[in-house]
Structure 1
Amino acid sequence: MKLTDYNNVYFLGIGGIGMSALARWFNRNGFEVAGYDRTSTVLTDELESEGISIHFNDDPSEIPADFLGDAEHLLVIYTPAIPAEHLEMNFIRDLGIPMFKRSQILGKITENLFTIAVAGTHGKTTTSSMIAHILKFAGKDIAAFLGGIATNYNSNFIANEGDLNKVLAVVEADEFDRSFLTLMPDLAVVTSADADHLDIYGDSESLKESFREFIKRVKNTGHIFIKEGLEENLVPIDLKASVHTYGLNRGQFFASNITIERGFFVFDYTDHEYLIKGIRLGVSGFHNVENATVAMAIALSLGVEPAIVKEAMESYSGVKRRFEYLLRTDKIVFVDDYAHHPEEISAFLKSLRALYPNKKITAVFQPHLFSRTRDFAEEFGESLSLADDVILLEIYPAREKPIPGVNASMILNKIRHTDKIVSTKEGLIDMLEGKTLEVVATIGAGDIDQLVAPLKKYLKSRYEVE
């Protein structure tokens, strides 16, 4: 297939974070775009404001007639989250119109572009947005497909401006459903490869094998930037691409002299050629210092001047729901984070503790997926024990059916201290009413984000914050 063979692009599941970025790319590059999603959201509202037609009923008659009337030039892209019984999907299939996954089309878009792909079971959204921001700040023409809303651009997509053949593509390479194996990057980053998505992979070794396959897909003349220590298990011996390691105080590219000054992380960047001192990172977390280190290494390797890299990194303002401050006062601190794996929660809470060593941390966590809760209940309990007080919400099922006997109490029983309880979403604010609150953190990848606004309103009122 060639993308130039198509005029119209129809999305089944257009409101997803990855699908909407693709929709924006097609819309900005001259295609007619329309789509379906189950519910209206802020993101779908934004797509509609950009001229994309969207409907929210699963009804084949809602598919634009001119799209179906020119089926030869219609590209249909779907998300695996669309259920098998979906009426529109089956209608399109019965017409004999081919349908493609998002990952296949992302691979097709980037196959002729210089591509920087960021993979990892966690850290990939922040790292890819950091790389994109530095390159954009430096005046490079990029097309960035991100897995979150970059606050500098209030978007999950940064549009290319000039000749498409000269564009640098920055993509988040998703390991879920082995999607990243459609890419053939020039530069690749691997931030982590912890056991996750075991409902897809079965075991940790199968997940690691998928990362090895991803690494093999880097062009022979390309470069791999991998967190120091992972290369021993993930990089094939006969790999022709160059391998570089990074980390905190270790690796060929590393951050050192990490301090916290007035609530901000400050560090030095070092590699075989450059020393950049006193970088004041606009987002919090030791893990984000590590992400910044590899983002800077990528930018320097592409010829961005060290002074520009530092200035860009200091102007980076993060990704929504990644260590996002909602309130930050002497009376109360409220932070929201997307963490949904034990390693992510541990990194988040350790950084929060470093920032506020003498304050009480209250964590509100919503587990994501029954299978992940079952597989990592003990690890979740260990990581959440880093907070002083834990409120668990019930499991957000996402794509899964309930598993008998699997619920939030599995995690509750593994938390070491006694300040812990399970709450409903509706009862959360009442639950907080009798507690001493100093640092409040909402954590999770489900619909816990719907509680952020009412919780912020409650905390502002309770602590008389303007």
Structure 2
Amino acid sequence: MTPGLPSTMERPHFIGIGGAGMSGIAKILAQRGAKVAGSDAKETPTADALRALGATVHIGHAAAHLADDASCVVVSSAIRADNPELVRAAELGIPTVHRADALASLMDGLRAIAVAGTHGKTTTTSMLSVALTEMGLDPSYAIGGDLAGPGTNAVHGEGDIFVAEADESDRSFQKYDPEVAIVLNVELDHHANYASMDEIYESFQAFVGKIRPGGTLVVSADQPGAVELATRVRPQAELNVVTYGEAADADVRVQKITPRGLTSEVTVVLNGRYLTFQVSVPGRHYALNAVAALAAGVALGLPAHNLASALGKYTGVKRRLQLKGEAAGVQVIDSYAHHPTEMTADLEAMRGAAADARLIVVFQPHLFSRTQELGVEMGQALALADASFVLDIYPAREDPVPGVTSALIIDAAVAAGATVTALPDKNDVPEAVAGMTRPGDLVLTMGAGDVTDLGPLVLDRLSSN
């Protein structure tokens, strides 16, 4: 099933085409026959993957990169108004389309599942995409990370199901109208866009309000923010609400999660029947993500037993507790966690998977605004590690905030009893890690910035020991 292309999407130009969300949309459009072009700051494997699909990818941003006959310019909230390609688009009268509107147009005419929440979106979207593919349903999907198996973040499938990660950070998830929506959790984050929990709830309520009439909200019965959201939206007459989790009153109740090394076995009670299945990644939070995926698939009318079996085929997403390699008896693992809740969950997962190992973390804070609001909690999370190195803040789209540095995290970590070392220059990480580790240790590179690039360098240094 291949929906037609809207005329505005026939020759799209993406500013920041290599980004996790933008590249997925570009890939699907290219697979559907659009003439895709765009620009990005640097050469990446993603740029090469897009070129392999027929897209034109320029490196660097310049007005000349925008073709005069582009049908639209696709942007994310991270693109600044003075970007030369955006300025040129205004001069030419080429319409600007937000990334979320572009994604929404790809879902038109399909049975959409949108996965939302402050944490766990990428993993849960990936689990569903892998399971539906394993079942032969050939779904389309757009994910904020590359699947470990297929190695891509987006695919155009011939089936009638579209699975999409729904980003709340800039309220853009309110543009979707899914048949089924998952809300994993609701917490305060993205402080540049949300001033309070009330604003967060209002935003999630607007997202839930877009679920198609007769559709289903799958929502956690355990996480307080999600429970509050469910209470607020239940009066909507045309909305089915299905809860999942370990709470006694959950509609899809988790009876037991049994760790088995780097995997888990999960038993749920669904429609009065027990169902046990495997989750091929470690940690309680990943097991619960799999249960959310199961509940969503069942809400779409899929057979629970087949779906549960297919979920066991999921092997991970790049940057979500991804094993980068082993050298000198030390395993190096990469984590995208950048919010204290995510950090705690991943550190606890690693503790559960390798209880006898020393855990050494290389943490890079992400965004000045997040560090300003949650730096203390980040430091407290690092107390779960045996030792940590803390890098300077990765700014991403933000300008520095006076007085906001990694010292906020380090001071909180020390107060919580953690062993922490500041490393302002990330080039010092390989040597520092090699000097601390011994065979049997686990090293976790953690954060949403370019800390992920350090794993191979650490492995190279350890190999030279």
Tell me the TM-score range normalised by the shorter chain: over 0.9
Query: Across the two proteins, how many residue pairs are aligned to each other?
Result: 450
- Tell me the amino acid that sits aligned with residue 421 of structure 2: I
Q: Aligned pair 1:222/2:215, yes or no? A: yes
- Aligned to 2:389, what secondary structure does the other structure show? strand
How far off is 1:199 after superposition? 1.0
How far off is 1:307 after superposition? 4.0
Deviations 1:166-224 (A, max 9, x none): x2111101001101010011100001111100111112221121111111111220000
Match of 1:48 among 27, 48, 51: 51
1:186 aligned residue: 179
Deviations 1:111-146 (A, max 9, x none): 332110000011011001111111111111311011
Unaligned runs of 5+ in 2: none
Match of 1:105 among 102, 105, 111: 102
Please show how residues 231-242 of structure 1 align to structure 2 within 5 Å.
231-234=227-230, 235-240=232-237, 241-242=239-240
Q: Tell me, in whole angstroms, the C-alpha distance in 2 between the residues paired with 1:18 and 1:231.
A: 28
Q: Tell me, in whole angstroms, the C-alpha distance in 2 between the residues paired with 1:156 and 1:22.
A: 9
- Tell me the amino acid that sits aligned with residue 419 of structure 1: T
How far off is 1:37 after superposition? 1.2
1:145 aligned residue: 142
2:23 aligned residue: 20
Rate the CA distance shift 1:357–1:53 in 2: closer, same or farther, 3 A.
same
1:39 aligned residue: 42
Match of 1:454 among 436, 453, 457: 457
- Tell me the amino acid that sits aligned with residue 51 of structure 1: G
Q: Tell me, in whole angstroms, the C-alpha distance in 2 between the residues paired with 1:365 and 1:379.
A: 13
Deviations 1:376-432 (A, max 9, x none): 111111111111111101100001111111111110000122521111201112222
**CA contact 1:144–1:157 (8 Å) conserved in 2:** yes
- Tell me the amino acid that sits aligned with residue 205 of structure 1: D
**CA contact 2:145–2:318 (8 Å) conserved in 1:** yes
How far off is 1:26 after superposition? 0.9
Q: Tell me, in whole angstroms, the C-alpha distance in 1 between the residues paired with 2:207 and 2:59.
A: 35
2:307 aligned residue: 309
Higher mean Cα deviation, 51-60 or 360-369?
Answer: 51-60
Rate the CA distance shift 1:328–1:269 in 2: closer, same or farther, 3 A.
farther
- Tell me the amino acid that sits aligned with residue 350 of structure 1: E
1:420 aligned residue: 420
TM-score (norm 1): 0.92
How far off is 1:308 after superposition? 2.5
Higher mean Cα deviation, 221-230 or 243-252?
Answer: 243-252
**CA contact 1:225–1:245 (8 Å) conserved in 2:** yes
**CA contact 2:117–2:186 (8 Å) conserved in 1:** yes
Deviations 1:216-262 (A, max 9, x none): 11122000000114233453242131101111364211333222224
Deviations 1:301-320 (A, max 9, x none): 33433442233122111100
Q: Aligned pair 1:158/2:186, yes or no? A: no
1:429 aligned residue: 430
Please show how residues 41-440 of structure 1 align to structure 2 within 5 Å.
41-64=44-67, 68=68, 70=69, 74-161=71-158, 167-228=160-221, 229=224, 230-234=226-230, 235-240=232-237, 241-248=239-246, 250=248, 251-277=250-276, 279-327=277-325, 331-415=329-413, 416-423=416-423, 424-437=425-438, 438-440=441-443
How far off is 1:452 after superposition? 1.6
**CA contact 2:180–2:211 (8 Å) conserved in 1:** yes
Unaligned runs of 5+ in 1: none
Rate the CA distance shift 1:319–1:153 in 2: closer, same or farther, 3 A.
same
- Aligned to 2:409, what secondary structure does the other structure show? helix
- Tell me the amino acid that sits aligned with residue 444 of structure 1: G
**CA contact 1:196–1:204 (8 Å) conserved in 2:** no
How far off is 1:271 after superposition? 1.2
- Tell me the amino acid that sits aligned with residue 427 of structure 2: E
Q: Tell me, in whole angstroms, the C-alpha distance in 2 between the residues paired with 1:136 and 1:282.
A: 16
- Tell me the amino acid that sits aligned with residue 439 of structure 1: L
How much identity, in percent, do the aligned residues show? Answer: 33
Q: Tell me, in whole angstroms, the C-alpha distance in 1 between the residues paired with 2:418 and 2:344.
A: 19
- Aligned to 2:432, what secondary structure does the other structure show? helix
- Tell me the amino acid that sits aligned with residue 29 of structure 2: F
**CA contact 1:255–1:289 (8 Å) conserved in 2:** no
- Aligned to 2:379, what secondary structure does the other structure show? helix
Q: Tell me, in whole angstroms, the C-alpha distance in 2 between the residues paired with 1:408 and 1:363.
A: 15
Higher mean Cα deviation, 313-322 or 267-276?
Answer: 267-276
- Aligned to 2:193, what secondary structure does the other structure show? helix
Q: Tell me, in whole angstroms, the C-alpha distance in 1 between the residues paired with 2:280 and 2:335.
A: 16
- Tell me the amino acid that sits aligned with residue 198 of structure 2: E
**CA contact 1:198–1:204 (8 Å) conserved in 2:** no
- Tell me the amino acid that sits aligned with residue 208 of structure 1: Y
Q: Tell me, in whole angstroms, the C-alpha distance in 1 between the residues paired with 2:443 and 2:294.
A: 31
How far off is 1:157 after superposition? 0.5
Instruction: Compute the RMSD of aligned alpha carbons.
Output: 1.9
Rate the CA distance shift 1:225–1:370 in 2: closer, same or farther, 3 A.
same
